[in-house]
Structure 1
Amino acid sequence: MEGEADGSDSAADVSALGKKHLAMLERLSNRHQSRPDKSGSPPPAASFESTSSFLSLFNESRMSIESRLAQCRLADRSLLQLNFDEISASIANLEKLVAESSYYLPPYEVRSSLKTISDLKQALDNLSSELIPKKKFSFKNKPARKEPTAPSSKGAEADGHGSRPAAKAGSLAVAVPDSPGFRNRANEVLAKDVRGLEVGEFTLSDLESCEVRLIGCTRALFVHRLRNCRVYAGPVTGSVLIEEAEDCVFLLASHQIRIHNAKASDFYLRVRSRPIIEDCTGARFAPYRLNYRGIEQDLEDAALGEETGNWSKVDDFKWLRAAQSPNWSVLPENERIGTVDISELSA
């Protein structure tokens, strides 16, 4: 009985730490997003004060996650998966924080922070495999892949804080944010004027053979599990995070863009920092080619009015040699699409 009580207390401690950690990240994110800007332009890059503040909070968060990982060994086995899911969400939020802060951090600090996050993911994966062993192999018929189906709602209106896919056991992918967006659709034109969106974030998740048209500025765009899609989006004042895309075309303008696990996809970008790719193959890059009524003003408001040329300066974080990474290339001019105009949102 005493052992059971100790296990319950430990599990409660891990859960409490998780809630405290998430609350801390939320406060940090709110502070970062509400930082006053009297000049109307982005903060100066890499000031000592902002960098040191970020590092202090980042390290506090890292130590919190490491502590919770250690306490999982003492937790009730029936609550392990819940604890792992909470820790995975904390790591995802920390990764989001790095992306949102990257415009003022020195490149070394961005790389170092992302390496720390990668190590935390690996530690969680190892611990999950150790404490929740996978079932022994047996021959079974592989179930047919379920195709995403379109809901019966009218038109292509964006979801509210709606369906978020349940996290797979042991999955370390970036958690799908519970924000407005398009989810679980197939063979549709999905259009939305995002100007005035209260949350400021937009999510595209589990889409197949869809065309997405987003007019106006957003603060952040999250993309998860897209296949054979075309995404035409107005400027993003913060970050674009892409997790799993295959045979897709993206037209994106943002301060920071990170792409993970993309295959055979084209990216037409305008970006203030160097695009980051990881675990990608066949990614091709070209300059931004989107138009709609009012886009020039939106680009100016997002501090993206000028072409920086960074679209062709891609950092492959999994390619450490001095030679050009084979995982990405510049899209040949004769294969690029023309300017896409989405002034009319409907098809």
Structure 2
Amino acid sequence: MGPKDLQEQINHLANLSAVAGERHDTIEHILTGISRLSNEVADAADYVPAYDQRTYSQALKQLTDQLNEAQAQFRPKSRFQFKRRNPPSGGDAMADRKNDARYMLPAGGQDKSSSPSAVTAVANANGSKLSSEDHKDSLSNLPSVPAKNYNEEIAKDSTDSRVRKPSFSTARDITLSDHEKLHIILPLSASRATSAGALTNMKGCIVDMSVPTRVCAGGAPFASLALKNISGSLIVAGHVDGPVHITGLRDSKVLVVARQVRIHECENVDFYLYCASRPIIEDCKGLRFAPAPKFHSADKDESTNMWDQVDDFKWLKAEHSPNWSVLPEEQRITEDVWKDKVPGHPGAGLDDILSTVGIGAEA
């Protein structure tokens, strides 16, 4: 929601009912929107020009001031008044009229300054006056904060380290694509962008998205997640409240905690799952399944995990599908490795970690 949308909601407050809490809920929604925009402007400080930064900040301040003014109009006015026993003199009467709010209102008893068609003065940065219509136009013409290209930033990182920690603090969703031989770890700040996630065209990578999607760590689960065209990689996908669609993976290992998992056209992949429904596979072979490690699924009820109740939609015979099997316990990645090795540690490079979890150095 941009400044123009918030402006319209502020202008509409007077038409909302205060009895059922409708006005209060809208005010809370506006405050949340202003707070989110303020965070986005602050996070964009390293790549947005100073002039634009000031423009955004001024617009948000104007929105905040307008909301405060609108709220002030809704506060109940005191009915208590002193009554004079003696009629005031002519000079006192004029002074009283001057200070009496009732005589400040136009004919009809309503404050026309709050109506949409009225022209009210709004001070701009140079101290000049803008009409309310001009102010509304200035908000509607305000450019949106330019989206940051996190994939480009990851690819251009000039450090010698192969570890990347993109914040995704200004993004609405998480999209990682076209990376090779990188260890990508998402920090907690990425929890702002977990409305959806997508990983595509990854080769020889480690991607850990567990921290921003773990509720117990202060994160927020993905609403949905898609993994596509990934080879020779370790993917710690984290928590997903909705469906996970996995397509075209080869020679990789995936850990995910989700409500639903659908796997298509994958080969030689180990899955460590917590799945609240039966996992579905189609056009796959060489898949092995194991339960998600407790380190990543501690907040889930193990009795509801259906990790080993896989349905192969392309295998209609009564006997067990040859396209998947249960991963033997002695071949599973241990809890200690998930907890201590996979996140990275001093002296361990990308290939070292991949080798530890059973993925060859050559992707």
> Scaled by the length of structure 2, what TM-score is found?
0.44
Higher relative contact order (CA 8 A, sep 6+): 1
Larger Rg: 2
> Scaled by the length of structure 1, what TM-score is found?
0.46
